[in-house]
Amino acid sequence: MVYGVSAIRLSCVPSVYRFSQSSFNGARRSSSFSLLLKKDQFSRKIFAQKSSYDSDSSSLTVTASEKVLAPGGQGDGSSSLTGQLESPSTISDDPQVTHDVDGNEMEDDEKVEVEEQESVPSALANNDEEACNEEPSVPLHMKVSTEKSEAKPRSIPPPGAGQKIYEIDPTLLGFREHLDYRYAQYKRMREAIDKYEGGLEVFSRGYEKLGFTRSETGITYREWAPGAKSAALIGDFNNWNPNADIMSQNEFGVWEIFLPNNADGSPPIPHGSRVKIHMETPSGIKDSIPAWIKFSVQAPGEIPYSGIYYDPQEEEKYVFKHPQPKRPKSLRIYESHVGMSSTEPIINTYANFRDDVLPRIKRLGYNAVQIMAIQEHSYYASFGYHVTNFFAPSSRFGTPDDLKSLIDRAHELGLLVLMDIVHSHASNNVLDGLNMFDGTDGHYFHLGSRGHHWMWDSRLFNYESWEVLRFLLSNARWWLEEYKFDGFRFDGVTSMMYTHHGLEVAFTGNYNEYFGFATDVDAVVYLMLVNDMIHGLYPEAVTIGEDVSGMPTFCLPVQDGGVGFDYRLQMAIADKWIEILKKRDEDWKMGNIIHTLTNRRWLEKCVAYAESHDQALVGDKTLAFWLMDKDMYDFMALDRPSTPRIDRGIALHKMIRLITMGLGGEGYLNFMGNEFGHPEWIDFPRGEQHLPNGSVIPGNNCSYDKCRRRFDLGDADYLRYRGMQEFDQAMQHLEAKYGFMTSEHQYISRKNEGDRMIVFERGNLVFVFNFHWINSYFDYRVGCLKPGKYKIVLDSDDPLFGGFNRLDHNAEYFSTEGWYDDRPRSFLVYAPSRTAVVYALVEDEPEAVGKPEPVQKIETVEEEAEAVEELEPRKESEPLEG
């Protein structure tokens, strides 16, 4: 998470679009314009023009009432949304009966029957019998032709008892009143959704009714804006005339209009043309981007974005070609940002990321790519966390179809694609975001101070609101359904779960901190609902929650009483490494490192990381910069002498990452470029920002120089960065081969403060870390569980990884019987200083039995050279750098 700055942002970002009409910058009644993608950046062009019919054509001169009452039923004045997608024969005459609405992919036997209700509180309620005359409407998203396997029934299981959490963690019994109340609220919401909406499966398809939906006869547009006094749809298609297409409102605050096709059968709103909703609100007249818009762009010379009606011809739509990969047992995540993924100081594109970065991720050994900043955000420097248009992929990087092509290519490579989704808050922009959308403060958000995040300068959702739940649940499903994302990393979950948002609060692990009046139960219930929906409809999907508080039950199934995430992002580890790196080597405590890496809840999986994008931002430092600082500028070339600081930094950089992966969790994450110790920091292009209090935040002259990733440094065989990249690649492939992160066997046999040694087992691997800055140990005994022969499978001292080549990789290590460090067996190793070595059990090999021998401590370079020569006579030892 990054923090924004208040007020409207003056973007320094050059748009990827060129508009052919200069009138786009001012007059909103321009007769036509073309929206063109920059040359050679994208695979297709978007043309946004007015209909071939003039403004006085019949299709554009139909009065508002005629459009609402248009033949064909789509604009008959009905406020009904439920039933919109059904044929007349399936709609009851009783306006109080709701029906399940299934998309084209669903079989008839998958439909949910809903009993007749007394009342329907939903904004999508069927409350007009004239809706029975409507023709079936096909939602825009269903028009996308995709190659798919035989349809399988998808359903969301009913709520369970919610009691298993007490068996898993008996400590929770002391907080049963709170937890049972939380689960009761969740069940109450599930029952209400079943009663009034036909179930969570139907409820989470709000994009089929709200926003723009296309049918054979025209386009229907609906918007929930209860605070608006009047509304009209405006855009290039009607020369931005607020009197041309007046919308009608139903009793639940949903505004609606139907636009019939043009006389030639073409759609009334051309693909690629700009649209907005014009509203008279309690705060005055405003033109807003539709809340459910699927694409938006920023025109040159304009600050706010404009909504784009995105509906390309069938032959232009991207068709998915590759199946989604199965969820891997262990996650190795490459965190990335499309815009800054180029080696050049530019905004990169979906297409370039697809062609250049995805193969790199695959080669490095990662099995998942987590992409940030997908949801549209008008302020580039927010890192994508100040979302303005929740259903629209960022237009800076290309078109929606370009994004689909990227995801399909990742699936072809066997990579999961996880989206960094933001449901914890929203941009406070009024002109192009959700803030004050209908002119009221509490539309999508809490009223007053509770609806504002004082540190992030953003708006906070009201998770108790029915329509907010529809919006967010549908948003999560939209990205899974339309774009084939394989899951999410939910941002800012700690902020959601507590009314204090985790700010200025030190979580100590006391359960009173989690279950009390500071807990936002409505937000937790939403998280339970969204996890329920995702895992019910997409069983292979992955959900990761960014929680720093350590909330118990966070990663336990909803049916058992948990919040339902698959993984918790283990944020404390990165903070611990920064804390340690500020100390002298002599002050590092092995026990403290071990405690932080292993301090996680039983049966709750975690994604560990040594550093993420947070540490790479301007104002902070990456691990590499903490370790090597300014020496990185002058001493990373192999044809120049190294320095003690560089030698120390490269050695510890490798050790920190390996021990984090080895002990920190069941998944691992790395931010792009950090695998090779990317120099410097991330600084988005920005100009000066003038705050309301009169203060000025200086900019960087809108420079992109530090908003890119220098992958060429990691690839250069003449730079020391290459060694760190090679080590990270070997580390990922080691986990892929042995699966040690998810092994049930984990045992820490040694954490010696005097020797600075850490030894642990995971699966059939034995990890040996020597954090001592000078001492190397010959014949150092390490405990093990299984008997047999062990061999080196990863050595951070390998010259390929920038090491000093002090170990013989052909050596074999045989276990001996006898208890050592509480292990039934042990073997002898050579442990060079500042080195991490992984030993693997060689199966089906005879074991050698011997007696334990005392450890020989080596304190000088001369003693080490003699010991190495004795152990490895074929190699010459190299002196250690201090």
717-734: per-residue pLDDT in tens? 999 999 999 999 999 999
| pLDDT classification of 866: cutoffs 50, 70, 90 | low
C-alpha pair distances (Å), 770 with each of 339, 594, 797: 39, 14, 11
Whole-number pLDDT of residue 619 = 59
Same CATH fold assignment for domains 205-309 and 573-841: yes
How many degrees, rounded to 5, is the angle at CA 157 between CA 153 and CA 162? 165
| pLDDT classification of 703: cutoffs 50, 70, 90 | confident
> Residues 69-74: what's their mean pLDDT?
34
CB within 8 A of 653, min separation 6: which ones? 623, 624, 627, 677, 724
d(CA 210, CA 277): 13
Whole-number pLDDT of residue 122 = 61
d(CA 557, CA 165): 9
161: pLDDT strictly greater than 90: yes
Between residues 707 and 447, the one the model is more confident about: 447
Whether the CB-CB separation of 152 and 306 falls below 8 Å is answered with no
| pLDDT classification of 708: cutoffs 50, 70, 90 | confident
d(CA 353, CA 332): 19
CB within 8 A of 492, min separation 6: which ones? 1, 385, 422, 424, 425, 546
356: pLDDT strictly greater than 90: yes
β-sheet bridge partners, residue 214: 138, 219
Whole-number pLDDT of residue 146 = 37
> Residues 431-458: what's their mean pLDDT?
95
d(CA 274, CA 33): 10
| Beta pairing class for 426-427 and 368-372 | unpaired
Render pLDDT for 405-417 as a digit per residue (tens, 0 to 9): 999 999 999 999 9
d(CA 487, CA 311): 25
Helices (H), 413-464: none
Render pLDDT for 83-127 as a digit per residue (tens, 0 to 9): 333 333 333 333 333 333 333 333 333 333 333 334 445 666 544
CB within 8 A of 564, min separation 6: which ones? 527, 528, 531, 532, 535, 543, 556, 557, 558
Whether the CB-CB separation of 545 and 490 falls below 8 Å is answered with yes
CB within 8 A of 181, min separation 6: which ones? 521
Whether the CB-CB separation of 246 and 233 falls below 8 Å is answered with no
Please state which architecture CATH assigns to domain 205-309.
Sandwich (2.60)
851: pLDDT strictly greater than 70: no
877: pLDDT strictly greater than 80: no
Buried b (16+ CB within 10 A) or exposed e, 265-292: eebbbbbbbbbbbbbebeeeebbbbbbb
* Residue indicated by tokens 């990249």: 725
Render pLDDT for 620-656 as a digit per residue (tens, 0 to 9): 788 999 999 999 999 999 999 999 999 999 999 999 9
| pLDDT classification of 876: cutoffs 50, 70, 90 | very low
Between residues 22 and 360, the one the model is more confident about: 360
858: pLDDT strictly greater than 90: no
Closest by CA to 19, choosing from 298, 312, 207, 393, is 298
390: pLDDT strictly greater than 80: yes
> Residues 730-753: what's their mean pLDDT?
97
d(CA 362, CA 179): 42
Whole-number pLDDT of residue 59 = 33
> Residues 706-717: what's their mean pLDDT?
90
d(CA 549, CA 544): 14
How many degrees, rounded to 5, is the angle at CA 612 between CA 579 and CA 330? 110
Question: Phi/psi class of residue 373: alpha, beta or left (left: φ > 0; alpha: ψ in -120 to 50)?
Answer: left
Say what percent of the chain tops pLDDT 90. 70
Catalytic sites, residue numbers: 491, 546
41: pLDDT strictly greater than 60: no
Average pLDDT, the chain: 83
d(CA 272, CA 311): 7
* DSSP letters spanning 173-239: GGGHHHHHHHHHHHHHHHHHHHHHHS-HHHHTTGGGTSEEEE-SSEEEEEEE-TT-SEEEEEEGGGT
Fold observed for domain 573-841:
Immunoglobulin-like (2.60.40)
The sheet carrying 816-820 orders its strands as 816-820, 823-831, 776-784, 856-858
β-sheet bridge partners, residue 221: 212, 257
Least confident interval from 28-42, 142-156, 548-562: 28-42
CA–chain centroid gap for 9, Å, is 24
Whether the CB-CB separation of 156 and 536 falls below 8 Å is answered with yes
370: pLDDT strictly greater than 90: yes
850: pLDDT strictly greater than 50: no
Least confident interval from 99-113, 395-409, 446-460: 99-113
Helices (H), 582-681: 590-598, 613-616, 623-628, 644-663
d(CA 632, CA 624): 9
Whole-number pLDDT of residue 121 = 54
β-sheet bridge partners, residue 519: 498
Helices (H), 483-520: 493-497
> Residues 521-533: what's their mean pLDDT?
98
Whether the CB-CB separation of 463 and 526 falls below 8 Å is answered with yes
CB within 8 A of 642, min separation 6: which ones? 635, 720, 881
- 726: DSSP letter: H
> Residues 484-505: what's their mean pLDDT?
96
Name the range with the highest mean pLDDT among 13-27, 575-589, 833-847. Answer: 575-589
d(CA 92, CA 251): 20
Ranges of beta strands (E only) in 250-288 are: 254-260, 274-281, 284-288
Whole-number pLDDT of residue 198 = 95
Cβ neighbour number for residue 376 with a 10 Å cutoff: 28
| pLDDT classification of 863: cutoffs 50, 70, 90 | low
d(CA 304, CA 197): 35
Whole-number pLDDT of residue 3 = 36
Say what percent of the chain tops pLDDT 70. 78
d(CA 593, CA 573): 9
Least confident interval from 44-58, 326-340, 352-366, 497-511: 44-58
Render pLDDT for 675-699 as a digit per residue (tens, 0 to 9): 999 987 788 888 888 888 888 888 8
3-state secondary structure of 667: strand
CA–chain centroid gap for 181, Å, is 30
Q: Report the largest interatomic distance among the alpha carbons of the chain, rounded to a whole angstrom.
A: 99
Between residues 349 and 44, the one the model is more confident about: 349
d(CA 92, CA 131): 10
* DSSP letters spanning 56-112: TSHHHH--HHHHHEETTTTEES----TTTTS-GGGS-S-TT-------TTS-GGGPP
Whole-number pLDDT of residue 380 = 83
3-state secondary structure of 125: coil
| pLDDT classification of 531: cutoffs 50, 70, 90 | very high
Whether the CB-CB separation of 560 and 165 falls below 8 Å is answered with yes
558: pLDDT strictly greater than 70: yes
Whole-number pLDDT of residue 683 = 82
Residue ranges per domain, the chain? 164-203, 205-309, 573-841
Render pLDDT for 749-772 as a digit per residue (tens, 0 to 9): 999 999 999 999 999 999 999 999
